[in-house]
Structure 1
Amino acid sequence: MSTPSAEFTAPAPFPRPLALALMCGLATLFAANHVSARVAFDAGAGLLLAIVLRSGVATLALAALVVFQRKSLRMPAGTGRWQLTVGLLVAVQSLCLYSAVARIPVVVALLLMNTLPIQLALLSWALGGSRPTARAALVMGVILVGLVVVLDVPAWLNDPEAMGPGWPAGVAFGLAAATAFAGALWITEHRLAALGSTLRSLLTMLTVLVAMIIAGGLGLVPGGMALPQSLPGWAGLVLLALCYAVAFSTLFICVPRLDMARNAPAMNMEPVAALILGYLVLGQTLSPVQLAGGAIVLAGILFLGLSKRA
């Protein structure tokens, strides 16, 4: 007698200590990607070149995953223009975040990027979603206070030139990166739910790659495709591409076993890792007051994440 085929069951999650350790390791790889990018930029590498290499390696990894999993390449009707929009928004986010990393300390750029939950909540509310609760609004306010401290706004007001000419632009680029990514996440959730995550990620990376190549060919970003002028710069380019591709691919493959609902806040290890790596590799330091502000920001982000999951 033939037996019915077994139903598909989700893979068993990793033990929580292993899942947390893995996610902290991935967050460190993402931070290493940004620190490596700063090394490359300091050696004269162009912003567009860095993104082309990073997205190119990630695209190859995702394409291999699509082939291995035998995923269909067919897109549901009506999703094409939304997927293109997401890809362009992620391209803008990548360019803005690397532009911030090139101008201000890496950890500050990542803390600005971590305003993403606030911006996404406000965007969702503006587009018809639920209004943030009073507790969430209070936590958002605390996070903003922490950002004022970590950005040392009083020092800016007293002596703007002491912070360097790149700081205002770096802060603007960091906030713009979070805004672009918030838009991409909103579209993904509300307009692309029918599109498989593997294909969506591949198309997004492919769009970023093509957009950066076109921008470089048209010369839209001066020096965007410039080559690094030293061996450390080349090493930075190679490492940023490898760190991002390995972290992104590993996270994508392991997501079903990481119990993200419980463990996602561990990814906030990234700014902490960036602080340590930025000190060890780049000699970037923050004052004790700025460190306290960063701790406030991270605590607020963790609280928001844990509260949402609860």
Structure 2
Amino acid sequence: MTSIAVLPRRTAVAILLSLGTLFAANHVAARLAFDDQAGLLLAIVCRSGLTLLALAGFVLWRQPRLRLASGLIKWQIVLGLLIALQSLCLYSAVARIPVALALLIGNTFPILLALLTWALGGSRPTRRACLLMGLILCGLILVLDLPAWLSASGPMTPAWKAGIGFAFMSACVFACALWITEHRLSTLPGAVRSLYTILIVFCGMLVAGAAGVLPGGMNPPASGLGWAALATLSVLYATAFTILFVFVPRLDMARNAPVMNIEPVASLLFGWLLLDQIFGGLQLLGGAVVLGGIVLLAYSKRR
């Protein structure tokens, strides 16, 4: 079997930085669409539908075997449903709190994955990993500005409570999805797993919309700006996901994956430029602590 040539590290890092920026822009575009009354389910349907078309074209070109072993079918369905739920939770958070804050909380999934793996019989987190997890949690306390809320000088509104809860739930669900991917579907080719996962997300959101599970979930935007934002988020996500999917065998992800944590940083910039979302100095420091801890945790795990 011919090995796939890995791209030079500078090229790989540049691609991952670009992809992280595209994913961040997708979430900012989603917030613009939600502010224009677009439904959460509609946004995910548009996003996953366009991505499904792109992946289907790639799979038809490569022509892998699409049949699943009987023991993998149930885990593939569970994975697809978890990713659908994670998408809904993250977009629900983006609709309520600043985009960068939602992504920072959502990106704590490595902590939850390490704890879940340990709880299910995997290796225990090292002392270094535990210290880094504690550092990340301290950074989150600063980002969330908990001291101000506790002193009643910055009360937490119901929307913020819900947004923070949805962001944390997205991290929990994504950690579960990654555990299933690593421990139950690791033998399944990435092309097949990704195609079926996006297909389940797309169909699941359509069914949820038709059943009225989420009131207003399929509402169209109120103006042309909302439609433009909806189209933009779909194109950005489909482009980033497809490029990542195609190039991932050549990006040396075991070494370079932490570069993708540029996403919250890019969303902070886009949120400031397009949404007037501004953080205080202490919150910015907390965000830097969270990102630094996540990157160090990712690199230490790979070593």
- Alignment of 1:112 with 2:112, yes or no, is no
Q: Compute the displacement of 1:261 (Å).
A: 1.5
Residue aligned with 1:79, SS: helix
Q: Compute the displacement of 1:187 (Å).
A: 0.8
Counterpart AA for 2:278:
T
Residue aligned with 1:78, SS: helix
Which of 225, 230, 253 is matched with 2:246 structurally? 253
Does the CA-based 8 Å contact 2:80-2:198 persist in structure 1? yes
Q: Compute the displacement of 1:83 (Å).
A: 0.5
Question: Match of 2:27?
Answer: 34
- Alignment of 1:298 with 2:270, yes or no, is no
Q: Compute the displacement of 1:11 (Å).
A: 2.6
The residue correspondences of 1:107-146 to structure 2 (distance < 5 A) are 107-146=100-139
Which of 235, 241, 246 is matched with 2:234 structurally? 241
- Distance in 2 (CA, whole Å) between partners of 1:207 and 1:156 is 40
Question: Match of 1:57?
Answer: 50
Residue aligned with 1:193, SS: coil
What is the Cα-based RMSD across aligned positions, in Å?
1.1
Question: Match of 1:159?
Answer: 152
Q: Compute the displacement of 1:160 (Å).
A: 7.7
TM-score using structure 1 length: 0.96
Deviations 1:38-62 (A, max 9, x none): 0000000000000000111111111
The residue correspondences of 1:186-225 to structure 2 (distance < 5 A) are 186-225=179-218
Q: Compute the displacement of 1:104 (Å).
A: 0.2
Does the CA-based 8 Å contact 2:93-2:163 persist in structure 1? yes
Deviations 1:141-193 (A, max 9, x none): 11001001101112222238744331000000000001111111111111112
- Distance in 1 (CA, whole Å) between partners of 2:243 and 2:20 is 11
Question: Match of 1:3?
Answer: none
- Alignment of 1:175 with 2:168, yes or no, is yes
Question: Match of 2:281?
Answer: 288
Question: Match of 2:86?
Answer: 93
Distance 1:161 1:222, change over 3 A: farther
- Distance in 2 (CA, whole Å) between partners of 1:129 and 1:151 is 31
TM-score using structure 2 length: 0.98
Q: Compute the displacement of 1:134 (Å).
A: 1.0
Q: Compute the displacement of 1:221 (Å).
A: 0.4
Question: Match of 1:5?
Answer: none
- Distance in 1 (CA, whole Å) between partners of 2:122 and 2:95 is 35
- Distance in 2 (CA, whole Å) between partners of 1:161 and 1:221 is 30
Counterpart AA for 1:235:
A
Deviations 1:72-111 (A, max 9, x none): 1111221111100000000110000000000000000000
Counterpart AA for 1:260:
M
Distance 1:231 1:92, change over 3 A: same
Does the CA-based 8 Å contact 1:10-1:256 persist in structure 2? no
Higher gyration radius (CA): 1
- Alignment of 1:80 with 2:73, yes or no, is yes
Question: Match of 1:48?
Answer: 41
Does the CA-based 8 Å contact 1:76-1:194 persist in structure 2? no
Residue aligned with 1:74, SS: coil
- Distance in 2 (CA, whole Å) between partners of 1:21 and 1:104 is 29
Residue aligned with 2:70, SS: coil
Distance 1:127 1:235, change over 3 A: same
Residue aligned with 2:71, SS: coil
- Distance in 1 (CA, whole Å) between partners of 2:249 and 2:164 is 35
- Alignment of 1:25 with 2:18, yes or no, is yes
Counterpart AA for 1:48:
L
Counterpart AA for 2:64:
K
Deviations 1:186-237 (A, max 9, x none): 1111111221111110110111111111111111101000010111111110
Does the CA-based 8 Å contact 1:150-1:294 persist in structure 2? yes
Aligned residues: 303
- Sequence identity of aligned pairs in percent? 58
